[in-house]
Amino acid sequence: MISVEKLGARIAILRKRQGMTQNQVADRLGVTPQAVSKWERGLACPDLTCLDELSDLLGTTIDGLLRGAAYNVMMVSEYGSIAL
């Protein structure tokens, strides 16, 4: 099962790595900045229809975004073992 909190953490970290603000992500996806904030805080999940564009925007795959595959590889290479 996908953890909403972990998904939110991945979105926030990947967004920051891309040098983007929540407003920029929201504009590109056609959602509100408040929606992006809720995703990152684990209070809501992105709509299924925007996952492809969101993952492209954040430089990962849908699988990496949802399950952490690309994220975990990146984090392990930078920080050693980490479990998200």
CATH assignment of the domain containing 24:
1.10.260.40
Residue 40 lies in a domain: yes
60-65: long-range contacts (C-beta < 8 A, 24 or more apart)? 60/14, 65/7, 65/10, 65/11, 65/14
Chain centroid to CA 72: 12
Between 22 and 74, the more confident residue is 22
Residue 75, pLDDT score: 52
Work out how many domains the chain is built from and give that number: 1
Residue 60 lies in a domain: yes
pLDDT in tens, 3-59: 999 999 999 999 999 999 999 999 999 999 999 999 999 999 999 999 999 999 999
pTM beyond 0.85: the answer is no
* ∠ CA 8-13-14, rounded to 5°: 100
Which structural domain, as residue segments, surrounds residue 31?
A: 4-79
Range among 45-54, 59-68, 70-79 with highest mean pLDDT value: 45-54
Residue 84 lies in a domain: no
Q: Is the pLDDT of residue 78 over 50?
A: yes
* ∠ CA 22-73-36, rounded to 5°: 15
